[in-house]
Amino acid sequence: MAEEEIRQLIELTVRQSVLEFKRAGLLKDPDNAAYTDATEMLSNYYNSDRKDSALTYAIQGLRFDPYFKIIPMFFEEKKTVEAISEELGVDIRTIYRNKKRLCVAIYNELI
């Protein structure tokens, strides 16, 4: 086998292996762990009378983001993703995507 054929075979094998690992749940997106932790922190934050100053600072750091409203609407006002989507006039996928992005940004600000 020529060197290029070997390289292509390796790339194909790796791609197929990664897909199989993902399907089996053996590979995790690192942002998913951050998202899970951040949603728990935000739920606790908005359900508590005592506010964590570091978390307050991280949240306020994103207040100029065009989709920032998603965070208080979801965690404080307890609105559904569907209700937020309707109120903001955007697709549900946009809400999910930006909620995750904002939660991960808050988490990254804290670590």
d(CA 91, CA 47): 27
Per-residue pLDDT of the chain (111 residues; tens, 9 = 90+): 789 998 898 999 988 987 887 777 776 677 788 999 999 999 999 999 998 999 999 999 999 999 999 999 999 999 999 999 999 999 999 999 999 999 999 999 998
Cβ-Cβ contacts under 8 Å for 94 (sequence gap 6 or more): 67, 85
Contact 31, 104 (CB under 8 A): yes
Contact 75, 84 (CB under 8 A): no
- What pTM was computed for the model? 0.73
